[in-house]
Each structure stands twice: as structure tokens, then as C-alpha cells.
Amino acid sequence: MLHTVDESITPIHIHDMTVAYHKKPVLWDVDLAVPEGKLVGVVGPNGAGKSTMIKAIMDLVPKASGWVRIYGKPYPRARRAIGYVPQRESVDWDFPIHALDVVLMGRYGHVGWVRRPGKRDRERAEEALEKVGMVDFGHRQINQLSGGQQQRVFLARALAQDAQIYLMDEPFAGVDAATERAIIDILMDLRARKKTMLVVHHDLHTVRQYFDWLVLINMRVVAAGETRDVFTEENLNKTYGGRLTVLSEAAQAVADHRGGL
């Protein structure tokens, strides 16, 4: 590395990380040091590996190489520092469970194995629901909520995790304008409380308005830094331009080569 990173105060430090699905690389050599207290947007075209990066940070997908440090520690030892908002489609909304119980899941990491969440955890969950404006819906079955409301429930769950860092996978996907406003207000509030957020986002129009830091991804990090420096025509062309076909072709070739086909 040419620049040095003070690990213990860096919320997320990714070094030389390559991630492969079924032997096909989807992220090449990511290097990233996310500064504390920023609202960071992760932007790139479909299939660019945005979600994969978030999942790799949390060890949800195996890394082919490289490492990630959370405040200088590997993920398993820093688990409680991270709150997670997965994509809405990642769960079955027909599952028999109430909104409040979903939010309560945010407390499970603090409760630990086998023990039941207590009264305090319940209060925390209710507070979190209140913050996202869903307190009246706590006892609704989750499939009776609108898309925006479901997203708010997920956000409330992350809030209940009481973390330092929040990783959010497309929290604005398919929500109404009111929900988007409500979510962004909460994110701003978290930023004011020095929390760090990594938010996968796909709406280029709102990038400048929402994020103070930006990571542009297309199978590798194209650019990362302050939004005003990074969000340029040239960088966007590099991110969204069709020139990267060689890279995806090579990825396919690597997969075939290793799989022996």
C-alpha cells in the first residue's frame, strides 16, 4: 500500500479482496478504507458486485483472497459493530411472523445463544419501530405491509442492532417517496451520531444529494472518495461504459478453466 491506514479507527478496511461465485470472479482486487462517520454510497451497474462486496465484508460469501478489518479486527470478532439491512427480496415475506418480532431479531446478536430476548430488548425494538414511523404496525403480519413499510421494518431491525457501522443493500429499491424521505432522514440522523454507513444505491440522480462519500464499482473499485471528487462524468463512464466486457469475459474464462469445462 502506498498510503497507510490506521486500522483501529478505520470502520471498514478492505485489502486486496477478490470474490468468486462458483469459481467465477465477480469482484477483483478491492481495496477500500471507509472513513468514520460518513454516509457512503456504493454505486455501479447491475451485476457489478455491489451486494457481493457487502456480503463479503460480513463473511456471508467466501473470499478468494484478501482480507477485511472492522476497526482493525476480523469480522467474527467485530460482529456486534455491524448492522445489516439485506435486500427486501432476500426473505420470504409469507413467513408467519409479526413486524415487531422481525425487529426484535436485531437484538439476537446481543442476547446470545439460547436465552430469550428480555423486556429491555423488546423496548429497544419498539423504539426502533417508532423511529421509522411504524409503531402502529408492530403486530401486523409482515406480508400485510407495503413494500415501503417492509423496508422500514428492515431498517428498524438494523437500528435495533445498535451498531457502529450499517451495511445496507438497496434500502431505496421499490419504496415510495415518503419512505425514501423517511429513510434518508434516519440515515442523516445516524451520521450525526458518528455512525458509518455503506449503502448500495442505484439511482444516480440522488447520489450527490444523499452521500458524502462514494464508491464506484464495476467488478472492481473504479473510484472511491469524497462524492464531489469522485462523482465525475469520466468516472461514471468508466463505471457504466461497455468497455469492461473484457473483464467479464476473462471472469467467465477463469471459471471455465478452473471448472475444467
Contact positions vs another protein (CB under 8 A): 1-2, 15-16, 18, 25, 28-29, 31, 55, 58-60, 65, 79-80, 82, 84, 86, 90-92, 94-98, 101-102, 105-106, 108-109, 111-114, 116-117, 141, 143, 157, 161, 220-224, 238, 243-244, 246, 249-250, 253-254, 256-261
Closest distance to another protein from the beta carbon of 81 (Å): 11
Q: And the C-alpha cell for 152?
A: 422500514
Q: DSSP letter for 61, please.
A: S
Residues 6+ apart with CB under 8 A from 166: 82, 83, 84, 85, 158, 190, 195, 196, 197, 198, 199
Nearest CB to another protein, comparing residues 188 and 232: 232
Q: What type of residue is 203? A: D
Closest distance to another protein from the beta carbon of 159 (Å): 14
DSSP β-ladder status, 221-226 and 63-70: unpaired
Closest distance to another protein from the beta carbon of 130 (Å): 19
Nearest CB to another protein, comparing residues 192 and 246: 246
Closest distance to another protein from the beta carbon of 208 (Å): 21
| Dist CA 231 CA 159 (whole Å) | 29
Nearest CB to another protein, comparing residues 1 and 192: 1
Q: In Å, how far from its chain's centre is CA 256? A: 30
